[in-house]
Amino acid sequence: MTENIYNTQPNIYKPAIMKIVARQDEAPGVRTMRLEFLDPVDHEYFKQTFRTGMFGLYGVYGEGESTFCVASPETRKEYIECTFRQSGRVTSALANADVGDLITFRGPYGNRFPIEEFYGKNLLFISGGIALPPTRSVIWSCLDQREKFGKVTIVYGARTVADLVYKHELEEWQERSDVELVLTVDPGGESPDWKNRIGFVPTVLEEAAPSPDNCIAVICGPPIMIKFTLISLKKLGFDERNVYTTLENRMKCGVGKCGRCNVGSVYVCKEGPVFTAAEVSCMPQADL
């Protein structure tokens, strides 16, 4: 009738198709999958846009889509790795998918960790349980350009030894001289041959007592761990503005329209998922 006054663009709800090229069981119910794009155009878009911290909507047609982080680093964009716990309808369908099967992916969406701002600084990564995957994307993004950063410390804890994810990579980090890895399991979660720490992450962190000087902390974990770890970091002298975390909420669209992932006025999908602890403390805590 008249000219197109609303500039439309390709369908934002149409996912890319990805092939599962490898998979690895990490812990009971937790699996990592390596995915490759079928369409080179989709891959090119991913290569141009993906930065560590961004997330995607992984899906199986007929079941739906589920939101989790891209667990692989921005320094390795030939594929996407994702790690998930089989817990709902979509993750069950993903868990049933085999190498060679096809799944869908929308993204990458959201903001990122400002890695350039971390250059020249010491890095402290703190993570709990199934929350290592988002942290791992940042860890490898930094380790792949190790010379640009100061001291790297990783504090990682899980409920039991079996629940630790990326066991092969933990071994690799433990052997590296340029990474200090502090591993812990909750009391009672140790196995007879466990040689690392026993205790909750905040306690172990305070014992390790990393210096807040010229240091950026990246923390990710269950809400209860985050809550007490923030208190410990404060005790150690960390400034809230130098502490980064990544939030997650239920999402459907991933692009700021479906209306459910906001915490107060902040949309986790558009303005997050990466926030500083200072930003999180300004959000209405009852909405977290």
Q: Which residues bind other proteins (CB under 8 A)?
A: 1-2, 4-15, 17, 38, 61-65, 87-88, 91, 102, 104, 223, 249-250, 252-253, 255-265, 270, 284, 286-288
- Identify which of residues 239 and 248 has a Cβ nearer to other proteins in the complex: 248
Amino acid identity at 61: Y
Q: Quick check: bond before 10 cis, omega within 30?
A: no
Closest approach of Cβ 122 to other proteins, in Å?
A: 33
- Identify which of residues 11 and 177 has a Cβ nearer to other proteins in the complex: 11
- Identify which of residues 19 and 234 has a Cβ nearer to other proteins in the complex: 19
Closest approach of Cβ 76 to other proteins, in Å?
A: 25
Closest approach of Cβ 177 to other proteins, in Å?
A: 38
Q: Show the tokens assigned to 282.
A: 């300004």
* DSSP string over 199-267: S-HHHHHHHH----TTEEEEEE--HHHHHHHHHHHHHHT--GGGEEEE-----SSSSS-S--SEETTEE
Q: Show the tokens assigned to 164.
A: 């630790």
- Identify which of residues 5 and 41 has a Cβ nearer to other proteins in the complex: 5
Closest approach of Cβ 69 to other proteins, in Å?
A: 15
Between CA 113 and CA 125 the distance in angstroms is 13
Closest approach of Cβ 60 to other proteins, in Å?
A: 9
- Identify which of residues 151 and 159 has a Cβ nearer to other proteins in the complex: 159
Closest approach of Cβ 65 to other proteins, in Å?
A: 7
* Buried b / exposed e along 180-215 (16+ C-beta atoms within 10 A): bbbbbbbeebbeeeeebbeebbbbbbbebebebeeb
Distances (CA, A) of 236 to 155, 184, 206, 231, 276: 15, 19, 7, 9, 17
In the chain, where does DSSP find H-type helix?
A: 40-49, 89-96, 115-118, 132-143, 167-175, 201-208, 223-236, 268-271, 277-282
- Identify which of residues 129 and 157 has a Cβ nearer to other proteins in the complex: 129
- Identify which of residues 6 and 192 has a Cβ nearer to other proteins in the complex: 6
- Identify which of residues 101 and 169 has a Cβ nearer to other proteins in the complex: 101
**Are 124 and 210 a contacting pair, CB within 8 Å?**
yes
Neighbouring C-beta atoms of residue 174, cutoff 10 Å: 14
Closest approach of Cβ 240 to other proteins, in Å?
A: 17
Closest approach of Cβ 215 to other proteins, in Å?
A: 30
